[in-house]
Amino acid sequence: ESFTQAVAAGFQATVRQVRHGKQTAADAVQMVDDRVEHTQAATDAAVRRLDGEVQHTQQATDAAVASLGGRVDATQAVTDRAVTALTEQMAEMRAQFQAEMRMQQESMLHQQQQHAAMMRDMQTQNASLLAQLQQQTLQ
């Protein structure tokens, strides 16, 4: 803003001088040329300064993006490790549960076999007793 005001003030001063006839037309043209050169130099300096600021901002933005990218990568790695650990833990729990179920089934099967053997023994004893009873009845 101050740059614009300075340029405007310079041109106004030149116009006032020309209007009051203090300068010849050639002097007025030279003053305008000088003002244009000065304005161009100031504009070039402002553009260079803004380019520097843009470049600095771009570098800061790139650094921030790289930093965030690194954080995302680190977070992803932690997440991946956690998922892997949970998956392994679930597999272990599943295997343990299946082993316990197998043991219970084997135990139940063994008990059923024992009960079946006892039933056969009882049937054999009953048949033997019945045969003895029939023999005694016949005698």
57-77 in b/e form (b: 16+ CB < 10 A) is eeeeeeeeeeeeeeeeeeeee
Domains in the chain: boundaries: 2-138
pTM of the model: 0.43
Predicted pLDDT of residue 25: 66
Q: According to the model, what pLDDT value does residue 53 have?
A: 92
Tell me the pLDDT tens digit for each residue of 24-52: 666 767 778 888 888 888 888 889 999 99
- Does residue 67 or residue 109 have the better pLDDT? 109
The pLDDT value recorded for residue 5 is 82
Least trusted range by pLDDT, from 13-17, 49-53, 91-95 = 13-17
Instruction: Indicate the DSSP class of residue 23.
Output: S
- The pLDDT of residue 23: 52
